[in-house]
A = this chain, B = another copy of it.
Amino acid sequence: MDAALDQIAARAAAAARPFAQTTPRARAAALVAVADALDQNAAELIAIAIRETGLTEPRLTGEVRRTSNQLRLFAEVIVDGAYLDARIDDADPEYVIGPRPDVRRVLEPVGPVLNFAASNFPFAFSVAGGDSAAALAAGCPLIVKTHSGHPELSRRTGEIVAAALAGAGMPDGVFQVVAGQQAGVELLKDDRIRAGAFTGSTHVGRLLADIAASRPRPIPFFGELGSVNPAYATAGAIAAEPDLLQGFLGSVAGSAGQLCTKPGFLFVPQGAELGPVGEAAATVPEHRLLNPGIGRAFEERRGAVLAAPGVTVLAEGEVRVDDAQQRFATPTVVEVDLATLREHRDDLLEESFGPLSIIVRYADADELPAVQRDLFPGNLTSTLHASEAELADGRLADLVDALAETSGRVLFGGWPTGVSVTGAMQHGGPYPATTTDATSVGTAAITRFLRGVAYQSAPQSLLPAPLRDDNPWGVPQRRSTAGRSAGWGTLTGHH
Which residues of chain A have a CB within 8 Å of any CB of chain B? Answer: 16-17, 62, 65-66, 69-70, 72-73, 76-77, 80, 82, 85, 87-89, 95-98, 100-101, 103-105, 108, 110-111, 209-210, 213-214, 217-220, 377-378, 388, 391-392, 394, 396-397, 400-401, 404-405, 407-414, 418, 420-426, 428-432, 435-439, 442-444, 451-459, 461-462, 476, 478, 480, 485-489, 491, 494
Contacts and interface: CB of A to CB of B under 8 A. Distances in A.
A77 B488 CA distance: 6
Top 10 A-B pairs ranked by shortest CB distance? Answer: A437-B451, A422-B487, A423-B487, A426-B454, A213-B213, A87-B424, A105-B424, A409-B454, A426-B452, A411-B456
Contacts of A489: 423
A20 to B, nearest CB: 8
Contacts of A413: 457
B486 A73 contact: yes
Nearest to A457: B412
Given A82-B491, A97-B422, A108-B404, 11 more contacts: A62-B98, A66-B97, A76-B485, A87-B424, A105-B426, A392-B459, A392-B461, A408-B453, A409-B454, A412-B459, A423-B480
A486 B400 CA distance: 29
A104 B103 CA distance: 33
Contacts of A418: 98
Nearest to A62: B98
Given A213-B210, A421-B97, A410 B456 contact: yes
A437 B432 CA distance: 22
A458 B391 CA distance: 9
29 contacts: A16-B405, A17-B401, A65-B98, A72-B486, A89-B422, A89-B423, A95-B420, A97-B420, A97-B421, A100-B420, A103-B409, A104-B424, A105-B444, A209-B213, A213-B213, A217-B378, A391-B459, A394-B461, A397-B462, A409-B454, A410-B453, A410-B456, A411-B457, A412-B458, A424-B487, A425-B454, A426-B452, A442-B487, A476-B491
**What number of copies of this chain does the assembly contain?**
2
Contact of A410 (B436, B443, B454): B454
Nearest to A461: B392
Contacts of A485: 72, 76
Given A424-B89, A456-B409, A391 B97 contact: no
Contact of A439 (B432, B452, B476): B452
A76 to B, nearest CB: 5
Given A408-B453, A423-B89, A453-B408, A414 B97 contact: no
A217 B431 contact: yes
B101 A414 contact: yes
A436 B451 CA distance: 9
B486 A76 contact: yes
A171 to B, nearest CB: 14
Nearest to A458: B412
Contacts of A378: 217
**Most B CB atoms within 10 A — which of A213, A418, A437, A461?**
A437
A430 B77 CA distance: 25
Contacts of A392: 459, 461
A18 to B, nearest CB: 10
A218 B209 contact: yes
B453 A409 contact: yes
A81 to B, nearest CB: 10
A227 B111 CA distance: 20
Nearest to A109: B405
Contact of A437 (B213, B409, B452, B488): B452
Given A73-B486, A89-B424, A436 B97 contact: no
A241 to B, nearest CB: 13
A233 B266 CA distance: 66
Given A72-B486, A397-B462, A103 B456 contact: no
B480 A453 contact: no
A465 to B, nearest CB: 13
A60 to B, nearest CB: 14
A22 to B, nearest CB: 14
A97 B70 contact: yes
A486 B66 CA distance: 12
Contacts of A88: 424
A125 B269 CA distance: 51
Given A453-B409, A480-B422, A65 B214 contact: no
Contacts of A480: 422-424
B218 A435 contact: yes
B97 A400 contact: no
A103 B487 contact: no
